Amino acid sequence: MDKESIVVSTINKDDLFLKKKDLNKNGYIWNDVTDENVSELEEIYKYSDQKISEQIINKERTVIVEYPWSKNAVRLLEQKYFLELCFSRNRNLISTEEQAVIYDKKIAIAGLSVGSNICKTMAMQGVGNKFNIADSDTLSSTNLNRLNESIVDIGKSKAILLGRRLAERNPFLGIKVFEEGISEENIGEFTAGASIIFDEIDDLRLKLLLRDHAKRSKTPLIMITDNGDNVMVDIERYDLKNNLMPFHGLLSDKELSIIRKAKRGLGPKERVRLSLKIVKPYNAVPRMQDSLTMVGETLNTWPQLGTAATLAGSVGCYITRKIILGEAIVSGRHHISIDSMLIPKHRSVKSKISRLNKTVGFVRKMSKAKS
């Protein structure tokens, strides 16, 4: 995973004492969870035709996982039984056959603010056993309102931190960390072999390059945008329709060409114009609109909430699972709105007209700001 990658080694009972002694000598904290593993496995097997073997009861099929960044060492049952325990509570909401299918996939996630929540939720549910994760940013104090991380790790790479969390949840995952983020040089490696690509980055040129690669490899691409407490979901099924236009055709060929040629980045005016054309101003909730007009004046950047980041994790995991299992998830834009579901007046005609009028004012303010 990185220069401090975990070590997973098979251990037999005869060598256990010496291994534990060696780890203690090197400052590792020892945790043996095999008793609990065996006990839980016995409980699960009570309700099936499976029989727990003497090898498992005697804990002869175990591994030791070493985590050098935290100096922790854990002994647990080998991969087959560990995974069976981890995903036993998914059944039968996810069948055993479905679990095997969704686990045996690679997922590529670029941008690890919203993206980290998506990735962690998939690891919990057993969606994907290989992850390519990319972000060039480091964890800051202002990220802690939406990222489930520790103040101990402020200043450290978001990509490496996420890789560590994934490895601590499931040491048998294949995790490739792109600590430098994605670029024109590594984007092919980043997307190679992925069953699903997630775009959670800000750079418009890189967003377009991700779609170019998704189109070439016929891979579904998902983008989830936070919007107050809600999220907007963009699904582009290049696996079903290879002549699909990027961004749902919201940008013209000329505008796509401008983005592709902007190797040094777009100017702020052009970036805002094209971004708003993709997102559509009327999709932003009123408080988000107000906040965007204040960026650079009373706010240093746009606001994001933990509720939206967490919701994005659930929605992203759900869509990925359904696509892999062949459900009819089609291309398009979808809004998952807690406001609309739980606040009755939000759905009223009066409220809709009010939001529309506010959007007109927002567009005017943004137009003045750009000029």
pLDDT higher than 70, residue 270 = yes
**CATH architecture for residues 96-256+301-343:** 3-Layer(aba) Sandwich (3.40)
Give the Cα-Cα-Cα angle 71, 76, 78 (nearest 5 degrees).
125
In percent, the amount of the chain with pLDDT more than 90 equals 71
Higher pLDDT, 360 or 169: 169
* Secondary structure element (H or E) that encloses residue 333, with its range: strand 332-336
pLDDT score for 115? 96
Q: Is the pLDDT of residue 208 over 60?
A: yes
* The pLDDT value given to residue 86: 95
For residue 276, pLDDT beyond 60? yes
Instruction: Tell me the average pLDDT across 160-174.
Output: 97
For the chain, the structural domain boundaries read: 7-84, 96-256+301-343
Q: What angle do helix axes 349-370 and 286-294 make, rounded to 10 degrees?
A: 20
In this structure, of 298-307, 311-320, 334-343, the range with the lowest mean pLDDT score is 298-307
Mode of pairing for the β-strands spanning 72-77 and 106-110: unpaired
Mean pLDDT of the chain, nearest integer: 91
Q: Which residue matches tokens 């048998």?
A: 172
Alpha-carbon distances of 260 from 169, 204, 205, 265, 344, rounded to whole Å = 39, 9, 6, 10, 44
Confirm whether pTM is higher than 0.85: yes
Q: Is 203 helix (H, G, I), strand (E, B) or coil?
A: coil
Between helix 114-125 and helix 306-324 the angle, nearest 10°, is: 50
Q: Is-contact 307 229, C-beta < 8 A?
A: yes
Query: Where do the DSSP E strands lie in 238-303?
Result: none
Residue 49, pLDDT score: 80
* 329-351: burial string, b at 16+ Cβ within 10 Å, e else: bebebeebbebeeeeeeeeeeee
Determine the average pLDDT of the residues in 66-85: 96
35, 75 in Cβ contact below 8 A? Answer: no
Q: What tens digit of pLDDT does each residue of 250-263 get?
A: 999 999 999 999 88
Output the CA–CA distances (angstroms, integers) from residue 162 to 2, 133, 187, 274, 335, in the order listed: 12, 8, 19, 31, 27
Question: Rounded to whole angstroms, how far apart are CA atoms 203 and 309?
Answer: 19
Say which residue, 222 or 57, is predicted with more confidence: 222
- Classify residue 101 as exposed, middle or buried by CB count within 10 Å of its CB (0-12, 13-18, 19+): middle
Res. 2: pLDDT tops 60: no
